Structure 1
Amino acid sequence: MRTRRRAYSAQRPADLGGAVWSVPVPIPGSPLGYTLVYAVESPAGPVLVDAGWNHQDAWTALRDGLAACGVDVREVRGVVVTHYHPDHAGLAGRVREESGGWIAMHEADAAIVRLMRGMPVDSHREFQAEMMRRAGAGAEAEAVRASERPDPPAQPDRELRDGDLIDLPGRVLRVVWTPGHTPGHVCLHLEDADRLFTGDHVLPDITPHIGIYPYDRQDVDPLEDFLGSLTRVAGLGEAQALPAHEEPFADVAARAAEIRAHHEDKLLRLRDMMTGDAAEPLTIWQVAERMTWNRPWSDLAPVQRGLAAGEAAAHLRTLESRGAVRRAPGAPGDPVRFTATSQ
């Protein structure tokens, strides 16, 4: 797979012009390597787009990287978090402590943060294990009980909705709600420069994780939401994309169309696979085992298999909503199973 990701050691803070800077912030132990945090200057002080992982090395990189761009972290006006994941929201609380600024996040992700902050670690592990068991996992369901959970991010001070303008005097930075990767993921359109901060929604070479949690929910369809969000972003035209990973790139509309085509192809291949195995209803876990990932299933750790199952569940849910697969009858408490329809 081609990627524009370079080693974190090769990254440097960059002046992107138009009073916008990027600062690479490391993600310890992650193949993603780093999050690109952006600083947008205004007459009333800079606003950050995302903040990075909550780790001392990441904090040092953020503070010193901003300083290299002429931005004192103590003068930050606020942090807009594109979504609640720890490599984006983790340091927002520390920036708030240093600067007295605000944290803003879409209301749907703010609700998830409240839930996470109110859930004890042991309860979260039990939830994860039961979710995996319902998907048809074996020993992996027990393995997650021993896994560590990152600390939940800080609760935001401001909750955003689609179309809101960020408090950034002298600039026009508008919220574009793009659910899919998370329920409250947002892109941010810097309208005075026709630039789009895309978070994880549109990346130049890789695609974001789209999953359902719990895996067997029927009241949501995050992949269909994501596809709709891609269409919406494509409607913004050839704006320059400023993503949270890899590097900035031109023509966000073209890349959004590529990602949509990738998932539509993946849905077709999954439908064909389910048709081939039509005599045997499959659990979500069995479907995930049969799908193609960036590494063989046997090489994936239990947590990575759990993420793969979440993505398999999201694709199955979209096929279900389109009438291509259905849930097979089963006894209460049994893992949910899917089978192809006759259409």
Structure 2
Amino acid sequence: MNNQEIEYPLAIRPNDGEALEVKEGLLWVRMPIPIKGLDYINLYLIEDENGWTMVDSGFNSELIKDLWEDIFRTKLKGKPVTRLICTHFHPDHMGLAGWITSRWKIPLTMTFGEWTFGRMLYLEAAEQTPEFVVDFYRSVGFNDKMLERVKSRGFNHFSRAMTEVPMGFDRIVDNEIIRIGSRDWKIVVGHGHCPEHACLYSEADGILISGDQILPRITPHIGVYPAEPMANPLKQFIDSIDTFMKLPADTLVLPAHNDVFTGLHNQLEYYQSHHEDRLNRLKAACVSPQSAIDLLPVLFDRELSDSDKGLAISEGLAHCHYLVGEGELDRECGDDGVWRFHRAGAVRAAVA
């Protein structure tokens, strides 16, 4: 086990709407967001010769627009924003991308997978929840009351959280080098939390802007959703851990939530043990067929409200699908249309 504990070397953080210099030409900005349990997001500004590169934009809100305008006036040394890089498509990261790119007349820079997914979800907004979404939640074991909640919320919450996602973008790819000011930044793509998450790594300075791929204090959300109901994102996330383990242990990590930290390998090893624990819990519970909703108490030690169960179900499915992919669980659909999981071969052996 790695001996380097998580540390927070700056010992301070910027207030909402303020900018704190982490290194020369590198600013940490903190913005409030209306997401339960997170409350704020970290965004970053990197100085170039003739302007600034923004890393992530923040949630779509008039408050955050006003806070950005104040930073534009007071913190950028009279220079414009010349590039916006969004690490991934989630609204707290990409929500103001349309406004920023229009405000500064600049392109949006992202990986192909993240721009495509964000653009698709923005355009797919609908007042009525599509039937395939309802069917998905029925298949994981939601009861009639929970399904009514799914139907009543509609399918436009994503578009409300976003300004218009630009029709075009500049693509970045894994291992690409982007020169910004005095630094070369290598694009390091991670998977699992989202399709094609872009992190930025400066080897010369030992800095990683990690977005949501690597966070202190909490584990990134890894979930299965209606758009890809048989996905195995936890396998992708665990495989990505090996990619980031290759970075130096003393890397300074600039995450999207919580505080700037060191102890990268320690945190990655924690992710491995955290997920291993939950996978073991599932295997122990699935001696008989269990739906995803049945398995929530196995994975979560606290009582979940109905509003929490959507995220919890998606995480539970991610763990179940990982075990199916490893050949340790079987997945079968019952006559009621509900998917149930059991140890591989267990039901067949019981019948025999």
What TM-score do you get using the length of structure 1 for normalisation?
0.87
Aligned partner of 2:349 in structure 1 is none
Which of the residues 293, 299, 302 maps onto 1:291? 299
Aligned partner of 1:235 in structure 2 is 246
Question: What's the offset of the Cα at 1:221?
Answer: 1.4
Asked if residue 162 in structure 1 is aligned to residue 174 in structure 2, the reply is yes
Structure (1/2) with the larger helix percentage? 1
Which of the residues 64, 67, 74 maps onto 1:58? 64
Asked if residue 225 in structure 1 is aligned to residue 236 in structure 2, the reply is yes
Answer whether contact 1:216 1:313 (CA < 8 A) is retained: no
Asked if residue 135 in structure 1 is aligned to residue 137 in structure 2, the reply is no
Answer whether contact 2:281 2:298 (CA < 8 A) is retained: no
Structure 2 spans left out of the alignment, 5+ residues: 1-5, 347-352
Answer whether contact 2:58 2:93 (CA < 8 A) is retained: yes
| Secondary structure, aligned partner of 2:150 | helix
> How big is each residue's C-alpha offset from its partner over 1:289-343, in whole Å with a ceiling of 9 and x where there is no partner?
44215x412xx233x2111100000000011111111013534x71111111258
Q: Distance in 1 between matches of 2:228 and 2:119?
A: 23
> How big is each residue's C-alpha offset from its partner over 1:260-293, in whole Å with a ceiling of 9 and x where there is no partner?
221112211221222xxx23x1111222244215
> How big is each residue's C-alpha offset from its partner over 1:135-168, in whole Å with a ceiling of 9 and x where there is no partner?
1101212202222613156135112221123363
> How big is each residue's C-alpha offset from its partner over 1:21-72, in whole Å with a ceiling of 9 and x where there is no partner?
0111110253211111100111131101111000011122233245443356
CA distance 1:8–1:167, change in 2 (3 Å): closer
Aligned residues: percent identity?
A: 27
Which of the residues 301, 315, 321 maps onto 2:319? 315
Name which structure has the greater RCO, CA cutoff 8 Å, separation 6+.
Answer: 2
Structure 1 spans left out of the alignment, 5+ residues: none
Answer whether contact 1:201 1:208 (CA < 8 A) is retained: yes
> How big is each residue's C-alpha offset from its partner over 1:99-148, in whole Å with a ceiling of 9 and x where there is no partner?
11221111111221232133131365544322211211012122022226
Answer whether contact 1:174 1:190 (CA < 8 A) is retained: yes
Answer whether contact 2:43 2:58 (CA < 8 A) is retained: yes
- The AA in structure 2 aligned to 1:232 is T
Asked if residue 213 in structure 1 is aligned to residue 225 in structure 2, the reply is yes
Which of the residues 335, 338, 342 maps onto 1:339? 342
Which of the residues 171, 175, 186 maps onto 2:183? 171
> How big is each residue's C-alpha offset from its partner over 1:228-257, in whole Å with a ceiling of 9 and x where there is no partner?
112211111121100011110013222112
Asked if residue 28 in structure 1 is aligned to residue 34 in structure 2, the reply is yes
Aligned partner of 1:328 in structure 2 is 332
Aligned partner of 1:261 in structure 2 is 273
CA distance 1:76–1:11, change in 2 (3 Å): closer
- The AA in structure 2 aligned to 1:161 is V
Answer whether contact 1:23 1:65 (CA < 8 A) is retained: no
What TM-score do you get using the length of structure 2 for normalisation?
0.85
Q: Distance in 1 between matches of 2:182 and 2:128?
A: 46
- The AA in structure 1 aligned to 2:69 is R
Answer whether contact 2:115 2:169 (CA < 8 A) is retained: no
Question: What's the offset of the Cα at 1:3?
Answer: 12
- The AA in structure 1 aligned to 2:258 is E
> How big is each residue's C-alpha offset from its partner over 1:205-227, in whole Å with a ceiling of 9 and x where there is no partner?
11111001128833x31101101
CA distance 1:249–1:85, change in 2 (3 Å): same
Counterpart mapping for 1:37-52 below 5 A:
37-52=43-58
Moved more, 182-191 or 121-130: 121-130
CA RMSD of the aligned region, Å?
2.7
Answer whether contact 1:8 1:34 (CA < 8 A) is retained: no
| Secondary structure, aligned partner of 1:16 | strand
CA distance 1:75–1:125, change in 2 (3 Å): farther
Asked if residue 270 in structure 1 is aligned to residue 277 in structure 2, the reply is no
Q: Distance in 2 between matches of 1:60 and 1:270?
A: 46
| Secondary structure, aligned partner of 1:35 | strand
Answer whether contact 2:80 2:104 (CA < 8 A) is retained: yes
